[in-house]
Amino acid sequence: MRKILVLNQFPTSYPPVTGGQLRYFHIYNKLSQYFDITLLSQSSGRREEKIHFSSTFREYRVRKDPIPRHIVKRIGLEKYGYEFALIRQLSLWQYNTTFKSYYDTLYKESDLIIYESPYVFAFDAYLGSDEKPRIYNSHNHDYLLAKQIWKGKKTRRYLPHLFKLEKELAEKSHLVFATCQKERKSLIDLYHLDPQKVKLAPNGINPEEWIKKRDKKQGSEKIKAIFIGANYLPNIEAVDFIISHLLDRCPDIEFIIAGGCCEPFRSIRKSNLKLLGRIDNMEKIKHFWNADIAINPIVSGAGVNLKTLEFLSAGLPLFSTQYGARGLDLVNRKHYIRAEKDDFADIINDFTRDFKQLKKVAASGQKYINQNYSWDSIVQNIRKEMNRLFERG
């Protein structure tokens, strides 16, 4: 069985709940039926552990090393910020870190190396001196994402370095996966890549994991609207919008928000707001079942929103910005209901009076997503491309 080593700057969780962890776990869990998979991840703290998901699937979660003071001074960023963690990763590759030590050991017994992002690419000192194929399995076009959401002047001075790193990664990888056609095109155009080596590997869902939706009893209780997201700037901006622009204008709707995106808003108290914080997968499934609608007022970010896929796959009527529905070829008022920031509240209030129409849109969206975006079908395509790499030698 071929041995695959996968590098990432964040760990997965089991079972995964939000964001990139869903993609990171499900793709390699499915691929471990055909390959021996080892994940090498940066842990979220100082703890190290090795987790065995199966006999052919495991994860090394490597502790974070103390950061040399001169690096902290040079970076000049808030120590625990989202951007700091990424720039920290960019700055440590030339040091003898624990992550690098693990990589040097695991590399020797691996047949293929996969990078989940450019932030771990520089740890690979063997590229160009061996015959092992490399794959860039992008979650986002990371340079364009950073250019969009990194706000500080000190932060943005690292953008040229990230551009150079992702460009080199994309050029030197034998195969590149993108989550949608738009990102595929942007990677090809910006880095002048051979289109033949840039393939699609969308984000996906497991259709069988959801509980069949209940029918709403009209007039019996408040409509429950759910949003979920990790502690990540586009999600935090979406929660701020919900609190600032939807709560008071939609008094008959109870807004339920889950995930790390709740953290900055813990002190807020509103009668129609429920902040769940981080939840596990079973809690997520239960809350999706109990919700009447899903909302996704995202206006920034990159890649394909996994929350959009999951909302639709679970059979929830989805109110989303066009940006939140990007990359999936969804049709407004057939698969979801488009609502932008200036009319979000009005559209929710209008459409939630028509349960028959909501049910019709939800059923259409669910059918479309479950037929086209299952992890099983996505992974079969990834497997075919990986086998072609091995066949070419």
The pair of structure tokens assigned to 123 is: 């740890």
Structural contact between residues 231 and 247, judged by C-beta atoms closer than 8 angstroms: no
pLDDT digits (tens, 9 = 90+) for 108-122: 999 999 999 999 998
The structural domain count of the chain equals 2
Q: Residue 245: its pLDDT value, please?
A: 97
Question: Is 80 exceeded by the pLDDT of residue 217?
Answer: no
Residues 266 and 254 in one domain: yes
Q: Residue 243: its pLDDT value, please?
A: 98
Phi, psi of 205 (to 5 degrees): -145, 165
Nearest to 1 by CA among 25, 40, 30, 33: 33
Residues 263 and 169 in one domain: no
CATH of the domain at 193: 3.40.50.2000
Residues 194 and 292 in one domain: no
Pairwise CA distance, residues 316 & 334, whole Å = 13
85: pLDDT confidence band, cut at 50, 70 and 90? confident
For the chain, what is the mean pLDDT? Answer: 91
Nearest to 138 by CA among 88, 182, 98, 99: 182
Pairwise CA distance, residues 356 & 202, whole Å = 31
Residues 70 and 196 in one domain: yes
Share of the chain above pLDDT 90, in %: 76
Residues 225 and 261 in one domain: yes
The pair of structure tokens assigned to 334 is: 């057939």
Pairwise CA distance, residues 82 & 101, whole Å = 25
Read off the pTM: 0.88
Q: Residue 81: its pLDDT value, please?
A: 61
The pair of structure tokens assigned to 88 is: 């920290």
Identify the domain containing residue 102 by its residue range: 3-204+374-392
Question: Is 90 exceeded by the pLDDT of residue 31?
Answer: yes
Residues 198 and 145 in one domain: yes
Poorest-confidence range of 147-156, 245-254, 291-300? 147-156
Question: Is 70 exceeded by the pLDDT of residue 70?
Answer: no
Q: Containing H/E element for 296?
A: strand 293-296
Residues 65 and 143 in one domain: yes
Residues 343 and 243 in one domain: yes
DSSP category for residue 236: H
Residues 347 and 304 in one domain: yes
Pairwise CA distance, residues 324 & 296, whole Å = 6
Residues 115 and 195 in one domain: yes
Residue burial 50-72, b: 16+ Cβ < 10 Å; e: rest: eeebeebbbbbbbbbbebeeeee
pLDDT digits (tens, 9 = 90+) for 297-332: 999 887 788 999 999 999 999 999 999 999 999 999
Pairwise CA distance, residues 213 & 216, whole Å = 9
Residues 192 and 230 in one domain: no
Which CA distances in Å does 136 have to 141, 166, 214, 341, 382? 11, 9, 41, 34, 12
Residues 147 and 229 in one domain: no
274: pLDDT confidence band, cut at 50, 70 and 90? very high
Pairwise CA distance, residues 99 & 44, whole Å = 13
